[in-house]
Amino acid sequence: MISGRKPIIGVMGGSQCDGEIYELARQVGRLIAERGAVLLCGGRGGVMEGTAKGAREAGGLTIGIMPGGNVSESPPNPYIDIPIFTGLGDARNAINVKTADVVIAVSGGYGTLSEIALALKNDTPVVGLKTWGFHREGFPKSPLFVEADSPKGAVERAFGFIRR
């Protein structure tokens, strides 16, 4: 995190999800905004929409790193204040995890798994909530990946990384 700036917390997850996961994402977004951080996400539907909605409800600022190059290629969800149009497709995942001070991964598919991996490669801490597990024989477990079992626990742990 850069001193003097608001922390930026990234919430990653699938562009489609069921109602329970959407609600978890919304709560995560709300708690992030209530604690004064900027919310960054992929700007699309599903988890990205739920979390942006929650942040907006709590008066927070929301950034969407869009895969497409303009509004018609990538319509941002209605809760994105600042859509950043990259035109990079999946390669924009690298931007998400480099820009966020910490990432919260909520459920998600292969895109989310790639973001968890890229975050850890870039030394960006990750908090997992109902998301992927992964292991490779002989590869040490990273202290930058922790798991939580509730939105409150996830945001608590995310801010824990920032305070260090």
Q: By the criterion CB under 8 A, which residues form the site for a second copy? A: 2, 5-6, 8, 38, 63, 65, 69-71, 76, 81-95, 98-99, 107-111, 113-115, 117-118, 120-122, 130-137, 139, 142
Nearer to a second copy, 71 or 150 (CB): 71
Apex 5 CA angle, 66 and 157, nearest 5: 75
Nearer to a second copy, 110 or 150 (CB): 110
For the bound state, the minimum distance from the C-beta of residue 31 to a second copy, rounded and expressed in Å, comes to 20
For the bound state, the minimum distance from the C-beta of residue 128 to a second copy, rounded and expressed in Å, comes to 10
Q: Please tell me the distance from the alpha carbon of residue 72 to that of residue 3, in angstroms, as a whole number.
A: 36
Nearer to a second copy, 36 or 71 (CB): 71
Q: Please tell me the distance from the alpha carbon of residue 151 to that of residue 117, in angstroms, as a whole number.
A: 21
DSSP state, residue 32 = H
For the bound state, the minimum distance from the C-beta of residue 23 to a second copy, rounded and expressed in Å, comes to 16
Q: Please tell me the distance from the alpha carbon of residue 60 to that of residue 34, in angstroms, as a whole number.
A: 7
Nearer to a second copy, 113 or 146 (CB): 113
Q: Following DSSP, what letter does each residue of 100-116 receive, concatenated?
A: -SEEEEES--HHHHHHH
Q: Please tell me the distance from the alpha carbon of residue 48 to that of residue 79, in angstroms, as a whole number.
A: 9
For the bound state, the minimum distance from the C-beta of residue 104 to a second copy, rounded and expressed in Å, comes to 15
